[in-house]
Structure 1
Amino acid sequence: MKYIIALLFLVFLNSCKKETLKPVTIKEDVTFLSDDALEGRQTGTDGEKTAAKYIANRFKILGLEGKGTNNYFQTFTFKPKTNPHQKVNYTVKDGDSTITGTNVLGFINNNAENTIIIGAHYDHLGYGAEGSLHRGEKAIHNGADDNASGVSVMLNLAEKLNGKYTNNNYLFMAFSGEEMGLLGSNYFVKNPTIDTKKANYMINMDMVGRLKADSTLAVYGVGTSPILKQTLKAHNSNFKLIQKESGIGPSDHTSFYNADIPVLHFFTGQHEDYHKPSDDFEKLNYEGMKTISNYIFEVISDLDDNGKLPFRKTKNESEETPRFKVGLGVIPDYLFDGKGMRIDGISEDKPAQKAGLQKGDIVVKLGDSAVVDMMSYMKVLATFEKGNTTKVVVDRKGEMVEAEINF
C-alpha cells in the first residue's frame, strides 16, 4: 500500500499546475521522503531515484528552472571507496561495481550578478549501509531527520523566496552521496552548472527536525564571512544559538567552504535515533522547522542588499579532534553549552550502559581529569585503551554520581 501511495503522489505532483496546487507543507514533504516505500533513499537505489523525481517535480511546480546537466538532474558515477582515506574516482570505465548518484538542482533566475546556494542532502542509509548504528535485524532507515528535514525546509524556502529579494539568484540543491562522503556536493563544486566565482554564499541544512524544548540551534560557519555573526544575532528572537566559526564539518557545506565560498550550516542536534531505523517522521518538531525556515528567510532578506559577501578562512576545528581507541558508548549532546559533556543517548551493551550511566547525565570527570566541555572529554577519552578501567563522575540532576568504566 505504501508503494501505491508514493506512486500516486508522484503522479499527482506531475499533473498539477503551480497556480492550482495547494501548497505542500513541510510535514507532507518529510512524510513522503521518509516513507518505507523509498527504502531509505540509499545512493543509487530506486528509492533514491524516486526521491529525486519527487524533488524535481516540487521544483517544477514552484516555478524553478532546471539547473542540472539534464534539466533538474546532475548525475555522477563513482566506484565506492575500499580505503576510507582514498579519493573517490568519479571517472570509472566499464561500469564495474559503480554507483550512480543524482543531484537535483532548481534555479530562480533574478538576472542578478551573484547567486545564493541553498542545499540539503536527500540520500540516507537504505536498509543499513555503512554508518548505521542499528544492531538488530535488517530494517529500513527512513532518515526523517537525516535528512528529509533539511530537504523539506529547503523546499519551503524555495517557495518563500520565489519573486522576493531579487538582488541575488537562488540555486536550490538536493545532494546525493552525502552519507558516503559528501560526494554529490564535492562533484558539483568540481563540475558546477553555474559560475561558482559568482556564488555569494551557501546555506546548508542537515538534521533540522528535532528542535528541543530549549530551542537550541547550532549554526556552523559563522566565521566564514565577517557579517554573518551580527546578521544571525539581529534576527534571533526564538533560539538559543550555538555559533561555530569553522566552515569545515561533516556535511555538504564543507565542499563549498573548500571552494572559498562563505557558508552557514544549520543543525538541531544529535539524538538516539540517529542512523537508526527509528528516525521516523512522527518524531519531528514541525513547528520548530517552520521557525527555522522563517529565521533563515529573515537572514537572507537582511543580506539581500549587501552585495557579494567577502570570504574568510577559519580554523579547522576537526584537525584538533583526538583519535580514539575506545569509546563510552554514548551519544553526546553537541549543543550542550554548560560545564561538562551531557549524554543524549546510551548505546546497548557498551561501557556506559554497563556502568549504569543514563541519558541526561553530565560527565564532569573521567579518570583523574576534569571534563569541562566536549573537547576536554575527547582529549581525556583518547588517553585510554581497550582493557583499561577508570572512574567516571557524572552530574545527575544535581547529584554527583561515581561509577566504574571498563573499556
Structure 2
Amino acid sequence: MKHSILILFLVLLNSCKKEVVIPEVSIKEDVTFLADDALEGRQTGTVGEQKAAEYIAKRFQDLGLQAKGTDGFFQTFSFKPKTNPHQKVNYTVKDGDSTITGTNVVAYIDNKAENTVIIGAHYDHLGYGAEGSLYRGEKAIHNGADDNASGVAVLLNLAKRLMKGNINNNYLFITFSGEEMGLLGSNYFVKNPTIDTKKANYMINMDMVGRLKKDSTLAVYGVGTSPIFKQTLRANNNRFKLVQKESGVGPSDHTSFYNADIPVLHFFTGQHEDYHKPSDDTALLHFDGMQVISNYIYEIISDLDNNGKLPFRKTKNESEDVPRFKVGLGVIPDYLYDGKGMRIDGISEDKPAQKAGLQKGDVVIKLGDIDVVDMQTYMLALSKFEKGNTTKVVVTREGKTVEAEINF
C-alpha cells in the first residue's frame, strides 16, 4: 500500500511540473523579424545587424543547438573596408574610425560522427543603401527580405528538422556577416574555423531562395564539385525545373568553402527587379515555395547521409570566361532562363534600356551585329561597345520582334 501511495505521489509531482515547450516559429515569422524596418537593413557592423545576430543565436538556442562560435554562438571579426576592389581585406586592424566589426553566428549538432556538413546563409544586407544598391531615390531602408532573410529562414527550418534525424554526419550552421561587402564572414570563418575543416563533408549555401517562380525554376550551383551531386539532385527532384551550374565559384559564400576544397551546393531562385532595392520586402516572398525548397534540401541531405565523406572535384571557373565591358544596358538578366537569347528580368531607372523602351520580359536576340543566344553571347556583344556608342537592339516581346536604338 505504501509503495502504491509513493508511485501516485511521484506521478502527481511530475504532472505539476511545467513542461518546457519550444514555440513553433515559421519561415514567414523568421523573415518578418529579420526584414523589419526596426533592423534598418542589417548592414554589417550596425546595431540592426547585431539585433539580427542576437535573434538568430536565440533561435539556435531554443532549437537546442550547441554554440560553436568563439564567444558562445558569435564569431566576430574586425576589418577595414577595401579602398579598391582588388585589395585584400585586412582582418587584423588597430582601433580606428574606419574599423568595422562583423559577426558570424555559428551553431552545431554533434552526432559524434566522423564528418560535418556545413549549412550556411548570409544575414547582412545594405542598410540604408550601401555600395551595391541599385536604388536611385531618396534614402530608404533596404530590408533584404529575399536577400537574404529568405536563406536564413530556410536554414533555421532545416536546423529544426536535422535535430531529429540523419545522424551519420554532424551539422554546422553558420549565418554569415559581411557577404555584401565581399564574402567577408565566410572567408574569415574558413581561415579561422571553429571545427576541423578537414572533416568538412560538404557545404550547402542558400542565398535568395524566396522568389520561386510559377514554373518552379530552381538554380543549383556547384553541382560539379562532387561526382555524386547531379545524381542526388535528380533522384530527389519531383517538383523543380532545375538549372544546374558546374562551377563552385559564384557571388555568394559557398565560394569561400569551394576554395578550401570542400564540395558545395548553392541554391538560388533568381534575381528580380527588387534586387538590392528598398522594395525587396517580406510581402513579395513565396513562403510555400521556400518550404518546398527546404524539403528538397532536407531530402538531399538525407540521401547523402550514408555516403560517407564525399570526394571533392575542381571545376572550371566560369567567371574567367566573362568578357570585360565598359558599358551596361541597365537590365537585370533572368539567369534562370534557358531559352534562346537573354531574357530581361528587371529594368534599371534612367539607363539605356529604359530610355530605349525595353521592358521586363523582353528577350534580347541581337545586340549590334552579334546574335544573342545566351548570357555568354550577350556579354560578348556588350563588350564591343564604349560610352557614347549607339547601336540597335532586337528583342522578342509577346511573340513579336521589336527593334530599338540603344545609346550607351
What is the TM-score with the length of structure 1 in the denominator? 0.95
1:109 CA drift (Å): 0.3
1:182 CA drift (Å): 0.2
1:163 CA drift (Å): 2.6
Alignment match, 2:168: 167
Alignment match, 1:207: 208
What does residue range 8-407 of structure 1 map to in structure 2 within 5 Å? Answer: 19-407=20-408
Q: Where does the alignment leave 5 or more consecutive residues of structure 1 unmatched? A: 1-16
Instruction: Measure the CA separation in 2 of the matches of 1:249 and 1:285.
Output: 24
Instruction: Measure the CA separation in 2 of the matches of 1:277 and 1:175.
Output: 21
Amino acid at match of 1:115: T
Amino acid at match of 1:101: G
Amino acid at match of 2:33: F
Report Cα offsets for 1:139-196 as digits up to 9, x if no partner: 0000000000000000000001103010000000000000000000000000000000
Distance 1:252 1:18, change over 3 A: farther
Alignment match, 1:10: none
Instruction: Measure the CA separation in 1 of the matches of 2:278 and 2:97.
Output: 30
For the 8 Å contact 2:22–2:63, the answer to whether it is kept is: no
Instruction: Measure the CA separation in 1 of the matches of 2:152 and 2:118.
Output: 13
Instruction: Measure the CA separation in 2 of the matches of 1:235 and 1:314.
Output: 23
Instruction: Measure the CA separation in 2 of the matches of 1:325 and 1:304.
Output: 47
Instruction: Measure the CA separation in 1 of the matches of 2:215 and 2:148.
Output: 22
Instruction: Measure the CA separation in 2 of the matches of 1:187 and 1:349.
Output: 38
Report Cα offsets for 1:255-293 as digits up to 9, x if no partner: 000000000000000000000000000000000000000
Amino acid at match of 1:385: E
1:19 CA drift (Å): 4.2
Instruction: Measure the CA separation in 2 of the matches of 1:202 and 1:107.
Output: 14
Higher deviation after alignment, 253-262 or 319-328? 319-328
* Percent of pairs with identical residues: 81
1:22 CA drift (Å): 2.5
Instruction: Measure the CA separation in 2 of the matches of 1:94 and 1:124.
Output: 24
Amino acid at match of 2:192: N
Distance 1:177 1:400, change over 3 A: same
What is the TM-score with the length of structure 2 in the denominator? 0.95
> What secondary structure does 1:306 align onto?
coil
1:96 CA drift (Å): 4.0
> What secondary structure does 2:300 align onto?
helix
Alignment match, 2:9: none
Report Cα offsets for 1:364-384 as digits up to 9, x if no partner: 011111000001100110110
For the 8 Å contact 1:18–1:61, the answer to whether it is kept is: no
1:18 CA drift (Å): 9.7
> What secondary structure does 1:77 align onto?
strand
For the 8 Å contact 1:189–1:259, the answer to whether it is kept is: yes
Amino acid at match of 2:158: L
> What secondary structure does 1:39 align onto?
helix
> What secondary structure does 1:40 align onto?
helix
> What secondary structure does 1:297 align onto?
helix
> What secondary structure does 2:392 align onto?
strand
Instruction: Measure the CA separation in 2 of the matches of 1:83 and 1:123.
Output: 21
Instruction: Measure the CA separation in 1 of the matches of 2:95 and 2:226.
Output: 44
Instruction: Measure the CA separation in 1 of the matches of 2:192 and 2:97.
Output: 23
Which segments of structure 1 move beyond 4 Å, counting only runs of 4 or more?
Answer: none
1:398 CA drift (Å): 1.1
Instruction: Measure the CA separation in 2 of the matches of 1:238 and 1:18.
Output: 39
1:355 CA drift (Å): 1.1
Aligned length: 391
Instruction: Measure the CA separation in 2 of the matches of 1:94 and 1:100.
Output: 11
> What secondary structure does 1:61 align onto?
helix
1:83 CA drift (Å): 1.4
1:356 CA drift (Å): 1.1
Amino acid at match of 1:267: F
Q: Where does the alignment leave 5 or more consecutive residues of structure 2 unmatched? A: 1-17
> What secondary structure does 2:208 align onto?
coil
Report Cα offsets for 1:309-355 as digits up to 9, x if no partner: 00000000011111111111111101000000000111111111111
